[in-house]
A and B are shown apart, each in its own frame.
Chain A
Amino acid sequence: MFSKKTVVIIGVFFLIIANILILSVISQRFPTSGPGGFTISVLAPFQEAIAGTSRFLKDIWRHYFNLVLVSEENDQLKNQLARAQEMKNQWVEARMANDRLRGLMDIGRGFAQELVYAEVIGRDPTAWFKTVIINKGAKDNVAAGMPVLVPEGIVGQVVDVSGHYAKVLLIVDQNSAVDALVQRTRARGLIKGEFADQCRLEFVLRKEDVQVEDAIVTSGLDKVFPKGLPIGTITDVVAETPDMFHTITVAPHVDFEKLEELLVLRTPMDRPWEDDE
């Protein structure tokens, strides 16, 4: 009665209708607490494990790439930081050098004599003597006997000169002696170098009023240093001695361990105080 093709089409149509009906009935009749819930509770741990592993692997992969990127970025930042620190260091050094040079210029204005700017390039090879080598010498008209200063006070005097270099005997050397005054009382004495970057003020009579914290300045009478330049401060006075002189210890204003730049008073001292008048 029907052709074979018509039977197949009708059969497929009924199958689709039956399937839809079954699906709609089943979806209403099996809640998750029943067999569906059981299946889920059995499968879910595996799913969770696989999903977790997958996530873990994805995370590793993503973090690995992130780490590589972060590492590269870290390297770049480190380089930038190093450059910035280097620049900052240069800037700080330049600022400090500027301050020091400004100080040197300021004291330079106070003298009638010509000043030569010099840098310390070497120090005494032993701890027993206190000298420095500077980068100015006979070619710069630096000669033995010239005084050497920094803004804080006197440093020493030139004792040896070569073409481009000179040796400066610091006032803390035991061979150094500078004529000095106690600024407050005008008591006169001789500043001599002592070990450990200190000085002694010698030949100050016991009758003189000398106290701790008194400032010591050059007297100008040694014809080397101009009058009134700061030398240091008295740190100790021992009056109870059998000598006719005080035993006085002086801490110089200049930190000789940190000497970098200094000034040489070029013209030999010849009563400089008269130049000011």
Chain B
Amino acid sequence: MTYLFHIGVCLVLVIFQTAVKPQVFFLAGFYDILTAYVIYLGLFHRVRDILPIILISGLAMDTISGGPMGLFLTTYLWLFLLTRWTTRLIHRDNLVLRFFIVGIGVVIQTGVYIGTTLLLGNATLFPAPTVDVALTQTLWALGTGAILVTLFRYLHAIWERLLNTYFVRESAQGS
């Protein structure tokens, strides 16, 4: 059931990013929201529970985006592992961590994208629009990352509560 929730959220986020976000003019410079979700997963879930979700969301984004195949999957896996590693050093409920971690994630993601594009020889080195986009995305991430992570956690808690209520009632009725 938890898998269902995570896959559902990933699908909603992908659809939002591809169909809704482009229609909203002020969200043009918004970052990849799945980055925030991957970081949330890294902060609050175990590796073995979440790896399939990371694989699915990464592949979904790779399929739907114009980037080189495997780019999103690689980025998400690294972000997830880095987040897990960070939680060993800093407590996951640390407010400073919560505030900066999505911004840092977006910077890493941007670095991976630019690095890959440069490696493939498809871009000139850091043209002005690239820097603009990277900066805008990072600012958006710093402004909204913590809120999104908290929101994802809250939604998951609601989901768990609903599941518990339903299944407890079902099992109680069954017995």
Interface residues of A (CB under 8 A from B): 121-131, 133, 159-160, 167, 169-170, 173-175, 192-196
Contact = CB atoms under 8 A, between A and B. Distances in A.
A173 B67 CA distance: 9
A192 B121 CA distance: 11
A128 B67 contact: yes
Contact of B19 (A122, A127, A196): A122
Given A121-B19, A133-B64, A195 B127 contact: yes
Contacts of A170: 66
A21 to B, nearest CB: 96
Interface stretch (B84-92, B129-137, B145-153): B129-137
A131 B65 contact: yes
Which 5 A/B pairs are nearest by Cβ-Cβ distance? A131-B66, A129-B66, A196-B129, A125-B17, A122-B18
A195 B66 CA distance: 13
Contacts, number: 68
Contacts of B110: 128
Contact of B66 (A121, A173, A192): A173
Interface in B121-167: 122-124, 127, 129-130, 133, 137
Contacts of A122: 18-19, 64
Could you say which interface size class chain B belongs to? 20 to 34
A67 B109 CA distance: 61
A217 to B, nearest CB: 23
Given A174-B117, A195-B133, A196-B129, A125 B64 contact: yes
Given A131-B65, A131-B66, A133-B64, A125 B18 contact: yes
5 contacts: A122-B64, A127-B133, A131-B65, A159-B66, A175-B122
B2 interface: no
Given A125-B32, A133-B18, A169 B64 contact: no
Contacts of B68: 175
Contacts of B32: 125-126
A208 B18 CA distance: 42
A233 B14 CA distance: 35
Interface in B43-73: 61, 63-68
Given A174-B117, A174-B123, A175-B122, A167 B64 contact: yes
A124 B117 contact: no
A196 B130 CA distance: 8
A195 B14 contact: no
A166 to B, nearest CB: 12
Given A174-B123, A175-B66, A196-B129, A125 B28 contact: no
Contacts of A127: 28-29, 133, 137
Contacts of B67: 126, 128-129
A195 B129 contact: yes
A126 B129 contact: no
B8 interface: no
Given A121-B19, A125-B61, A127-B133, 20 more contacts: A123-B18, A123-B19, A124-B66, A125-B17, A126-B17, A126-B32, A126-B65, A126-B113, A127-B137, A128-B67, A128-B113, A128-B117, A133-B64, A160-B63, A175-B66, A175-B120, A175-B122, A194-B123, A194-B124, A196-B127
A169 B66 contact: yes
A124 B123 contact: no
A231 to B, nearest CB: 18
Contacts of A194: 123-124, 127
B129 A174 contact: no
Contacts of A169: 66
B22 A123 contact: yes
A121 B64 CA distance: 12
Nearest to A128: B113
Nearest to B124: A194
